[in-house]
Each structure stands twice: as C-alpha cells, then as structure tokens.
C-alpha cells in the first residue's frame, strides 16, 4: 500500500474484488480484477490484472499483474504511474512451496516469460522491468536427511543461485534466460570484465594459491582436502569448477561460494537493482553454445516473505 493510505473497506461481490482506500485528498478504488488464462508450453497460468485509480479525477496510480496457479506460486509485476504516465515497473517473485518451482522442468522460466510478454502487450511503451535477484538453491546440506545434497525444503543456509550460476555457467540465471543486466551500465560492464578475467585468465588463478583460496572463506587447507587436487590441476578457475563432479558440486561448493564470490566481485556485482529490457531478448532457449548447468531437481526460493498476495479465482 502507499504510505499514508488508510485501509477503509473491502467489498466482495460476485467473485470480483474491490479495495477502497481513503486519503486526505482522494477516494481511491482498485478496479475489479481482470483474469486471463494463458497457456505456455505444457503450463496453463492465470494472469490477474488490477488497476488502481482515483475515483474523483480518473487518474491512474498503478497497475498490478500477477501470474500463478496457487497463491504461493506466483510472480507479480507492479506498474507505478504519475499523471497517467508509467514511471516505474518492478517484478517480484513471491515465496512459494513445492517442486513446481524447479527450474529443471521449465516452470519458472515459462511463468516469468509469459507474464513479461503479457505486460508488454498491454503496455507497449514500457522499456524495462526492475527486479532484485533473490533466487537461492534449496540445499539440505550434510547434516540433513540421508546427506542428500538437495532436498525440497529451505535450508538455513541456502546457496545464492546467482553466485552458483556464475561460477558454473559464467552468468546468472536471469542473464542467461532473459538477458538481464544490472541497472548501472558502467558497473555491469565492469562485472562482465571481472567475470572474464576471473574464470578464464590463467594469471588470475596463479595469484591465488590454494592456501590463500581457502582462507578467503575462513578454511584451512586440511579442511578442504577434497578440493585440492581439482584446484591444483586446473589452468584457470573455470577449469577448476568444471572439473568438480556434478553430483558433488552443491556439497563441495555450496557452503563457501557466497563468501568467496563476494570477495571476487566486490564493488562490481550486486543482486539488487537489475533490469530486463523490452522488447524481450529471450536468449536461453535457442542456439545455445553452452548448455546451462543446474543441479538435478533444483528448486528456486526467494526471500520475500509476504503470503496470500497472489489470489486465485477461488480465493476471491
């Protein structure tokens, strides 16, 4: 809700939702929901389109687009307007539960792509969408059930997907599939240069001997004995990460990747303030020169804790 806007009344009638807010200046009303069913590949989604405007002067204040099938499982794009002109557009992924959110089955990709296409068709003057990358891998760790490296639950220390994806794919998941960029173009260029140097230049790795490497995440060499052979035989950091067996990557890399990559990418990479440009430049499906790696059955979670924001028709 807007700051200073007081909740006044909720009207539920004929499965149409109206929210009325009261301020010192206007009575504002949220228009009744427009619900559209969209099919993308094997998935069927429902998109809810809400518009908030002033009853007194018919000025639009904002517009919210929400996609999902159950309220925990959705993406929302919010448009903020001023004088009936769009001044900001942002996307957030609400916390969800269940295996349907795994990127391995394409559900997340199709949901975001479908909503982005829908919003751009509705508002073709949009140039970009802002978002924060809060994606994590749900990782069970060594002390959880059966020592399985991946479990369908949130671990106390989930692995940041953006760091994990950078070391194994050279880019984040959003960069790969939506050509996303940091909003600051200078910083984004510096980040891409740093990644190229870090992953592929032999000299970069030679300046970080194994003892120094493990000290960057507060470990001693004897504690990281499983990694020493992979590290010492690698020509560069890309060779090192690629040489780790896929079934061991979450276990061997997950516990320290965040601390290590914060050091490597300091001052040039932040998970907040990213953008996806319109018209969409979808790069992940076709003409791939390098297959995108992710652990099998990987789930994506986000740290936005609000519940019951996305409404299915049955909830209205």
The answer to the question of residue 88 being in a domain is yes
Residue 163, burial from CB neighbour count under 10 angstroms (0-12, 13-18, 19+): buried
- 42 and 108 housed in the same domain: yes
The answer to the question of residue 302 being in a domain is yes
Q: Average pLDDT, stretch 287-314?
A: 54
> Is the peptide bond prior to 279 cis by the omega test (within 30 degrees of 0)?
yes
The answer to the question of residue 282 being in a domain is yes
Among 8-17, 60-69, 121-130, the range with the most confident prediction by mean pLDDT is 121-130
- 194 and 313 housed in the same domain: no
The answer to the question of residue 247 being in a domain is yes
The answer to the question of residue 176 being in a domain is no
- 8 and 125 housed in the same domain: yes
Q: Is the pLDDT of residue 19 over 70?
A: no
Residue 199, burial from CB neighbour count under 10 angstroms (0-12, 13-18, 19+): buried
- 261 and 213 housed in the same domain: yes
Number of domains in the chain: 2
| Model confidence band, residue 284 (pLDDT cutoffs 50, 70, 90) | low
SS3 83: coil
Kindly report, residue by residue over 92-111, the tens digit of the pLDDT: 876 555 544 556 557 788 88
Residue 9's Cβ-side half-sphere holds a number of Cα atoms within 13 Å equal to 8
User: Which pLDDT belongs to residue 97?
Assistant: 52
- 2 and 124 housed in the same domain: yes
- 30 and 90 housed in the same domain: yes
Q: Is the pLDDT of residue 40 over 50?
A: yes
- 210 and 287 housed in the same domain: no
- 155 and 105 housed in the same domain: no
Q: Average pLDDT, stretch 239-248?
A: 96
Kindly report, residue by residue over 126-145, the tens digit of the pLDDT: 999 999 998 888 766 554 44
The answer to the question of residue 139 being in a domain is no
Kindly report, residue by residue over 41-92, the tens digit of the pLDDT: 888 888 999 888 766 666 777 899 999 865 555 889 999 888 777 889 999 8
| Model confidence band, residue 152 (pLDDT cutoffs 50, 70, 90) | very low
SS3 305: coil
- 84 and 110 housed in the same domain: yes
Helix H or strand E segment including 73: strand 73-82
The average confidence (pLDDT) of the chain is 78
The answer to the question of residue 143 being in a domain is no
- 207 and 248 housed in the same domain: yes
Which residues are CB-contacts of 114 (< 8 A; sequence separation ≥ 6)? Answer: 38, 40, 43, 45, 47, 67
Kindly report, residue by residue over 179-223, the tens digit of the pLDDT: 999 999 999 999 999 999 999 999 999 999 999 999 999 999 999
- 262 and 307 housed in the same domain: no
Backbone phi, psi, residue 207, to 5°: -80, -5
Q: Average pLDDT, stretch 108-125?
A: 92
The answer to the question of residue 141 being in a domain is no
Q: Is the pLDDT of residue 235 over 90?
A: yes
Q: Average pLDDT, stretch 4-31?
A: 37
Give residue 113's domain range: 1-133+273-316
| Model confidence band, residue 21 (pLDDT cutoffs 50, 70, 90) | very low
CB contact burial 231-259 (16+ within 10 A = b; e otherwise): beebebbbbbbbebeeeebbbbbbbbbbe
- 126 and 244 housed in the same domain: no
């Amino acid at each position: 809700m807007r700051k200073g806007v007081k909740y006044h009344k909720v009207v539920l009638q004929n499965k149409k939702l109206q929210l009325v807010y009261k301020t010192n200046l206007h009575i504002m009303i949220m228009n009744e929901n427009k619900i559209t069913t969209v099919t993308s590949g094997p998935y069927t989604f429902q998109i809810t389109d809400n518009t908030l405007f002033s009853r007194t002067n018919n000025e639009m204040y904002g517009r919210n687009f929400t996609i999902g099938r159950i309220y925990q499982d959705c993406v929302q794009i919010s448009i903020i307007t001023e004088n009936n002109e769009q001044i900001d557009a942002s996307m957030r992924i609400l916390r969800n539960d269940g295996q349907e959110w795994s990127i391995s089955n394409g559900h997340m990709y199709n949901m975001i792509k479908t909503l982005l296409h829908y919003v751009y068709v509705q508002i073709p003057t949009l140039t970009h969408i802002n978002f924060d990358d809060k994606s994590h891998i749900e990782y069970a760790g060594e002390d959880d059930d059966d020592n399985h490296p991946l479990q369908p639950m949130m671990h106390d220390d989930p692995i940041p997907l953006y760091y994990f994806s950078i070391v194994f794919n050279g880019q984040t998941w959003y960069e790969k599939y939506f050509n996303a960029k940091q909003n600051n173009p200078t910083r984004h260029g510096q980040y891409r240069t740093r990644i190229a140097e870090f992953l592929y230049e032999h000299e970069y790795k030679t300046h970080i001997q194994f003892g120094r490497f493990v000290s960057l995440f507060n470990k001693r060499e004897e504690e990281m004995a499983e990694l020493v052979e992979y590290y010492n035989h690698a020509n560069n950091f890309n060779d090192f990460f690629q040489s780790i067996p896929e079934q061991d990557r979450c276990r061997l890399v997950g516990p320290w990747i965040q601390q290590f990559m914060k050091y490597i990418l300091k001052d040039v990479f932040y998970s907040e303030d990213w953008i996806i440009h319109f018209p969409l430049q979808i790069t992940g499906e076709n003409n791939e020169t390098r297959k995108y790696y992710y652990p099998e059955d990987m789930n994506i979670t986000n740290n936005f804790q609000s519940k019951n924001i996305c409404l299915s028709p049955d909830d209205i």
